[in-house]
Each structure stands twice: as C-alpha cells, then as structure tokens.
C-alpha cells in the first residue's frame, strides 16, 4: 500500500459522499430503530473498511513483534510499522521520519513533551502559555510539570465569539515564556487558531511552540514545516484510525536533547546495572512493545484520507458547517457557543431553558448521536457561563440530510419541553 | 426499546419548570453540595432537622438537567416530615428502583416512582441520583459529594 498522492477533489470537485459512506460499515446500522445519524466525530470517528481490513490482515498474516526478531514475520512487521511511520511523516510534511514518535494519542504526546522537555528545561518562574480554549489534555500536563518545576501557567483569553485575542496572547508571551501550547482547532468552539502567527510570536520571544492537532488533523491539510512549530500532536482515532495510537512530531534536535519519558525495552542502546544509554529517537521515546497494529491501522487511515483528499474533505465540511449554521438559526431559543471568524468541523450550542443532557437524550432517541457535556474543556464552559453544551461535529461522510435530521430532532426537543 | 415518554413524564416537566422548595434555607442544620462533573450539574441541599429528629424543612438550589432538577424537587417533597433514618431508607429504595436492583426492604416510594423510567437510560442514572447522594452526604455531615 503506497501513499496515494492523487486527490479526488482535483478531478471531481465535490466528494461523492454516498459512495464514501459505503466504506464505513458502522454507518449502515440502525440505533433505536432508526438509521444512525453520527454527529459525534470530534469525540471519535468511524473507521473505513480499509482500516478494519489492514488491522485484521496484519494480525492474521504478518503479525509479530518489531525490531526484535531475525525471523521473517518480525521483519515483515517491522517493515509495516516503519512504513506507517513514513506515511505519518508524509501526512505532516515532516522533514524526517525519525521525528515521528508513536504514542497512545494526543494526550500522551503532550504529557511526553511536558514531562520530558518541560521537566528538563523549565525553571522556577519560567512561563508556559496556553489559551483559554484548550482541551484538558493541553492544560493538565502543564499544570503537573509547573507544580514540579516551579514554572507558571499563563492563559491567553478569548473573546465572546470564541476568537483568541492575539494581541493579548502576544502581550502574555514574554521574556520568561519558554513554551506556548495551543490548539489548532478547538473541540469545544470550532475555532481555528492562527497557529502560524502564534508560532511566530512564540519564536520571537525565544519560546518553543507545541500545536495540539487532535481536531485539526482530520479536517484540514497539515504541514508542520509551514506552521513552523516545534511539536505537533494528534490522535489516530479521530482521523478514522484505531484507538490507542497517536503521534508526536518534534524537531529532531529537540528529540535528541530530551530525556526519555519512559524506560524499558526498545529505548536503550546499552544497559548495565551501573547505568544505561539511550537509543536515538524515535526509539528513545517508544519504550516497550508499541501498538504495532495500531500504527499500521493509522497508516491505512492516512492512505484513505489522502486518497479522498484533505482539501476536498475540508471543503465538504465547510459547506456542511455553513448549512448547519443556517439551519440552526431557524431553531427558536438555540444559541451557538462559538462564532469565531474562522471555524471548522463542528457546532456547539445551548438552549437557554433546556439542559444539553436532555437535548442529548432526546436526540439519541431520534437516532442522532451528538455529544452533550463539557467536552473536556471546563474552562470554556466557565467562560460562557454554561454547565455544558450540545455539540454536533462533522466528518467526511456526513451529509446535509444528517443536519436536517439533527434540526428535526431539535424541534422535537422543543415540542417535548413545551417551549 | 425504551420509550422517551417513560423518562420524560409530565410530572417531570412540571417539577423541572416549577421546582418545589427551591432556594436557600435559612437556619439549616445540614447542608451539602453535590456535583456531577460529567454534565456540570451542581446543587446545594439544605435540611432543617427539628428536636424530634424529623426533617422540618428542606430546600435545594442549583442548576441541572430536567431529570436532576425534577428528582431534587421530588426529593424535597418526599423527605419533609420524615426522620433521617426514614429518609435514608427512601434513598436506598429509590436507588434500587433506578438501578433496577431488588430492594433489600420494602419501601413505599410514592410519587418518586415517576422516575422509574430512568433505569432504561443508564447515561442518566447519575442525574436522577445526584440529589439523593447529596442528601446522604448532608446527613453524614460531609460538605461535598461528587457522583464520579
Ligand atoms: C483539541 C483536543 N485535544 C486533545 C484531545 C485528546 O485526545 P485523545 O483523547 O485522543 O488523547 C482531544 C480529544 O478529545 C481534543 O479534541
């Protein structure tokens, strides 16, 4: 399976969504006696057959541990695992395959950077700058390392529409700022951040920049060289790949200098009881048997999305978002949370007098799966003074009919509540 | 298949729209705060226990979904005038009903039975029990309780 470079978008212009939907067996099922309308893609996306088959095939035919055996199967497994690393490299346009570290997901990637880079480099009084719209996984690892090192966490505010206040960000980025950690696309608000600009600001102050790409990677082309960042993290499961696999990309010099995150097999050069030396990256950060088949499944997912074309996916989802904005404006009493100038992938909303959990339960009964909750972004909920929101989030396989079903179900919510 | 109307009965909408005994209670002898971190629900429950050991007055405030608000409102109506022991017994009976487990002892739940439909909605069990866990905490003298 070589990475297909062709883009359907270039030839067709629009996605053939009906055809693509047939690639996803999970979409064909009924829930509660109704066809599934899956609008919880920001939580996790369904898997195309290509991914399911890759996972099945590797377990059934080419499975073995990697980097360990001299036998045929182990060589095949190693080749496939390292092949997946190359696919990730190409997907991110990273300069070097050795900069791709396989981890459990975005959460582990950020924890790795915070613990390893942060633990080695942060001093009392140093500052870590995040934004008010971060996911808990881009807040809590920094709090932990700040507690350990005496560094201080600073938070750049957002406005009422969910735009990051870039001037405030710039003002907060100062002499003591050692790293900024920002999401490229907010999972709670749908805001797209001007990451390139934020990275420039960080670098101008001598700070490093980590980008949380958990939401961005499935929805827009990503080029870490164009972004100019130092670390990039994303999760396989939101990109139509398996759970339990994700990626940390980091510039090679940084990985070379950073201490190991976990110790064990694979990450060493030599071990004696007097002391050990480390393997070069990425092995240094991949202690133990990795999620081999997860990585291979992620490689298949990347082939799939690149085959469809990220530009085409982004365009399709932009149309869905515009359609949803218009349709939701017609639902009385509904208020969008997050109306930033640049948005993608999702709509987050509340009713003033109906709790999101009630909305979620009633929608579920109509076969419409959305997320109701704080979306692991409690500070965002506090910022807007709501306990939770309902969120509909899109994938390449969603259609206008899905949004029509959402809106019809929302009308049902209102009529049930007699409002 | 579970029917939505089993969950959202008219009585529940009524208690959600017009929660009974809503607000602060001056002179409370017991007080606890309950959180449901999953949905951001939060409520404070107040009890005023008389010299005879009975709940003379009870109130709650906070915000939550229809199920948690109605459940709290119904709770206040059903524990008023009871001893703390009786209130705890009601909690055990209510819990058994929601979890669809056999009650260890016979308990007259009365109008609390409108919440029986919750057992078909596992994702909403914590909404229905938040007020009761908070009541239990208040009786035990704990100040805060979380359903997670
Ligand atoms: C913006 C953002 N960052 C980080 C994460 C964490 O990803 P994971 O749970 O896959 O580690 C998520 C997932 O919900 C997210 O939306």
Q: Is A391 exposed, middle or buried (0-12, 13-18, 19+ CB in 10 A)?
A: buried
The sign of the dihedral angle between the CA atoms of B101, B104, B109, B112 is: negative
Same domain, A243 and A328: no
User: Rounded distance, CA B100 to CA B119, Å?
Assistant: 6
Could you tell me if residue A339 is inside a domain?
yes
> CATH number for the domain including B109?
3.90.1010.10
Beta bridge partners of A158: A164
> Could you tell me the pLDDT band of residue A419, with boundaries at 50, 70 and 90?
low
CB within 8 Å: A357 and B42: no
Q: Is the pLDDT reported for residue B40 higher than 60?
A: yes
Q: Residue B127: give the domain boundaries.
A: 4-143
Indicate the SS3 state at residue A344.
Answer: coil
**Of A283, A307, A331, which residue is a domain's last?**
A307
Point out the ligand 1 atom lying closest to the alpha carbon of residue A212: 3
Q: What is the mean pLDDT of chain A?
A: 94
Same domain, A79 and A131: yes
Q: Is the pLDDT reported for residue A67 higher than 90?
A: no
Would you say A143 and A280 are in contact if contact means Cβ atoms under 8 Å apart? no
A272 phi and psi angles, rounded to 5 deg:
-135, 165
Q: What does the pLDDT average to over B71-91?
A: 96
List of residues 6+ apart from A70 with CB closer than 8 A = none
What per-residue confidence (pLDDT) applies to A14?
83
A373 touches chain B (CB under 8 A): yes
Same domain, A277 and A353: no
Q: Which of A248, A195, A247 is nearest to A226 (CA)?
A: A195
Q: A34 to chain B: nearest residue by CA?
A: B1
CB within 8 Å: A357 and B39: yes
- Interior angle at CA B55, CA B139 and CA B69, nearest 5: 75
List of residues 6+ apart from B18 with CB closer than 8 A = none
Domain count, chain A: 2
Indicate the SS3 state at residue A59.
Answer: helix
Partners of residue A363 in chain B, C-beta under 8 Å: none
Indicate the SS3 state at residue B100.
Answer: coil
Partners of residue A388 in chain B, C-beta under 8 Å: 39-40
Q: Is the pLDDT reported for residue A218 higher than 60?
A: yes
Residues recorded for chain A: 419
Q: Is the pLDDT reported for residue B75 higher than 50?
A: yes
Same domain, A101 and A124: yes
Q: Tally Cβ neighbours within 10 Å of residue A201.
A: 21
Shortest alpha-carbon distance between residue A246 and chain B (Å): 25
List of residues 6+ apart from A42 with CB closer than 8 A = A187, A215, A238, A345, A346, A371, A375, A391, A393
Could you tell me if residue A43 is inside a domain?
no
Q: In the structure encoding, which two tokens stand for residue A89, read together?
A: 């490299």
User: Rounded distance, CA B63 to CA B67, Å?
Assistant: 11
**Of A274, A307, A340, which residue is a domain's last?**
A307
Same domain, A247 and A396: no
CA of B43 to the centre of ligand 1 (A): 29
Q: In the structure encoding, which two tokens stand for residue A234, read together?
A: 């994303």
CA of A88 to the centre of ligand 1 (A): 18
Percent of chain A past pLDDT 90, that is, above it, reads 90
The sign of the dihedral angle between the CA atoms of A294, A296, A300, A302 is: positive
Q: In the structure encoding, which two tokens stand for residue B104, read together?
A: 């260890």
Same domain, A209 and A237: yes
Q: Which of A22, A49, A20, A40 is nearest to A367 (CA)?
A: A40
R_g of chain B computed on alpha carbons: 14
Q: Which of B33, B121, B21 is nearest to B74 (CA)?
A: B21
Partners of residue B121 in chain A, C-beta under 8 Å: 361
Q: In the structure encoding, which two tokens stand for residue A170, read together?
A: 């710039």
Specify the DSSP element, H or E, that contains A386.
none
**Of A255, A283, A307, which residue is a domain's last?**
A307
Domain count, chain B: 1
Could you tell me if residue A4 is inside a domain?
no
Same domain, A85 and A203: yes
Q: What does the pLDDT average to over A227-232?
A: 98
> CATH number for the domain including A195?
3.40.640.10
State pLDDT tens for residues A348-370.
999 988 999 999 999 999 999 99
Q: Is B5 exposed, middle or buried (0-12, 13-18, 19+ CB in 10 A)?
A: exposed
A110 touches chain B (CB under 8 A): no
User: Rounded distance, CA A84 to CA A97, Å?
Assistant: 10
Q: What is the mean pLDDT of chain B?
A: 92
Percent of chain B past pLDDT 90, that is, above it, reads 80
State pLDDT tens for residues B17-26.
999 999 999 9
> CATH number for the domain including A377?
3.90.1150.10
Could you tell me if residue B17 is inside a domain?
yes
Peptide bond into A353 cis (omega under 30): no
Partners of residue A32 in chain B, C-beta under 8 Å: 1
Could you tell me if residue B129 is inside a domain?
yes
Same domain, A149 and A275: yes
List of residues 6+ apart from A279 with CB closer than 8 A = A266, A267, A268, A269
The model scores a pTM over 0.80: yes
Q: Is the pLDDT reported for residue A226 higher than 80?
A: yes
Could you tell me if residue B38 is inside a domain?
yes
Could you tell me if residue A322 is inside a domain?
yes
Q: Residue A383: give the domain boundaries.
A: 17-31+309-416
Considering only CB atoms, B63 lies closest to which of A361, A378, A387, namely A387
Same domain, A262 and A341: no
Residue ranges of E strands in A328-387: 334-336, 346-351, 368-369, 371-373
Q: What is the DSSP letter of A279?
A: P
Could you tell me if residue A27 is inside a domain?
yes
Percent of chain A past pLDDT 70, that is, above it, reads 97
Same domain, A211 and A244: yes
CB within 8 Å: A357 and B1: no
Q: In the structure encoding, which two tokens stand for residue A247, read together?
A: 């990626």
Q: Which residues have C-beta atoms less than 6 Å from ligand 1?
A: A 105-107, 135, 137-138, 183, 187, 212, 214-215, 235, 376
Q: Is the pLDDT reported for residue A3 higher than 70?
A: no
Which of B4, B35, B121 best tests the A interface by mutation, with the highest count of A CBs <10 A? B4
Could you tell me if residue A392 is inside a domain?
yes
What interface predicted TM-score (ipTM) does this complex get? 0.89
Helix pair angle (A310-329, A400-416), 10° resolution: 30
Q: What does the pLDDT average to over A208-230?
A: 98
Could you tell me if residue B30 is inside a domain?
yes
State pLDDT tens for residues A275-323.
999 999 999 999 999 999 999 999 999 999 999 999 999 999 999 999 9
Could you tell me if residue A138 is inside a domain?
yes
Please indicate whether residue A146 is annotated as part of the active site. Answer: no
Could you tell me if residue A44 is inside a domain?
no
Q: Which of A159, A205, A162, A221 is nearest to A9 (CA)?
A: A221
CB within 8 Å: A387 and B127: no
What is the Cα A76 distance to its own chain's centre? 29
User: Rounded distance, CA A309 to CA B119, Å?
Assistant: 45
Could you tell me if residue B148 is inside a domain?
no
Same domain, A71 and A23: no
CB within 8 Å: B4 and A418: no
Same domain, A330 and A409: yes
């Amino acid at each position: 399976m070589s990475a297909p470079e062709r883009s359907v978008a270039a030839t067709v212009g629009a996605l053939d969504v009906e055809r693509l939907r047939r690639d996803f067996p999970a979409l064909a099922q009924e829930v509660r006696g109704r066809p599934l309308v899956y609008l919880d893609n920001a939580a996790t996306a369904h898997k195309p057959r290509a991914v399911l088959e890759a996972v099945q095939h590797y377990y059934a035919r080419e499975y073995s541990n990697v980097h360990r055996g001299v036998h045929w199967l182990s060589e095949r497994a190693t080749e496939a695992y390292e092949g997946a690393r190359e696919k990730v490299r190409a997907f991110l346009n990273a300069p070097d395959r050795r900069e791709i570290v396989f981890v459990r997901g975005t959460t582990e990637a950020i924890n790795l950077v915070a613990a390893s880079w942060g633990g080695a480099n942060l001093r009392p009084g140093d500052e870590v700058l995040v934004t008010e719209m971060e996911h808990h996984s881009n807040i809590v690892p920094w709090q932990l390392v700040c507690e350990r090192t005496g560094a201080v966490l600073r938070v750049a505010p957002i406005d009422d529409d969910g735009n990051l206040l870039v001037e405030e960000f710039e003002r907060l980025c100062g002499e003591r700022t050692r790293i900024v950690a920002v999401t490229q696309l907010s999972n709670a608000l749908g805001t797209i951040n001007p990451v390139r600009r934020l990275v420039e600001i960080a670098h101008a102050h001598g700070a490093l920049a980590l980008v949380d790409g958990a939401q961005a990677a499935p929805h827009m082309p990503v080029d870490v060289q164009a972004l100019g960042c130092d670390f990039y993290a994303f999760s396989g499961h939101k990109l139509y790949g398996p759970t339990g696999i994700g990626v940390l990309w980091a510039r090679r010099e940084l990985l070379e200098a950073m201490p190991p995150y976990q110790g064990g097999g694979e990450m060493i050069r030599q071990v004696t009881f007097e002391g050990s030396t480390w393997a070069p990256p990425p092995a240094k950060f991949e202690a133990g048997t990795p999620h081999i088949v997860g990585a291979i499944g992620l490689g298949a997912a990347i082939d799939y999305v690149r085959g469809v074309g990220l530009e085409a996916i982004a365009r399709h989802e932009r149309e869905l978002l515009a359609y949803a904005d218009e349709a939701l404006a017609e639902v009385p009493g509904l208020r969008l949370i997050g109306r930033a100038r640049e948005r993608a992938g999702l709509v987050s909303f509340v009713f003033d007098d109906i709790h999101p959990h009630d909305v979620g339960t009633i929608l579920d009964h109509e076969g419409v799966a959305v997320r109701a909750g704080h979306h692991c972004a409690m500070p965002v909920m506090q910022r807007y003074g709501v306990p939770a929101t309902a969120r509909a989030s899109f994938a390449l396989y969603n259609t206008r009919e899905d949004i029509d079903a959402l809106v019809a179900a929302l009308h049902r919510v209102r009529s049930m509540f007699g409002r | 298949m579970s029917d939505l109307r089993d969950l959202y009965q008219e009585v529940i909408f009524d208690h959600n729209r017009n929660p009974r005994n809503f607000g602060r209670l001056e002179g409370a002898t017991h007080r606890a705060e309950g959180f449901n971190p999953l949905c951001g629900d939060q409520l404070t429950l107040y009890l005023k226990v008389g010299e005879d050991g009975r709940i003379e007055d009870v109130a709650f405030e906070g915000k939550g979904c229809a199920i948690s608000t109605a459940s709290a409102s119904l709770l206040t109506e059903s524990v008023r005038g009871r001893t703390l022991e009786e209130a705890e017994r009601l909690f055990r009976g209510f819990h058994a009903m929601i979890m669809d487990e056999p009650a260890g002892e016979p308990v007259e739940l009365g109008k609390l039975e409108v919440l029986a439909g919750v057992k078909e909605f596992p994702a909403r069990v914590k909404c229905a029990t938040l007020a009761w866990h908070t009541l239990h905490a208040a009786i035990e003298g704990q100040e805060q309780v979380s359903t997670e």
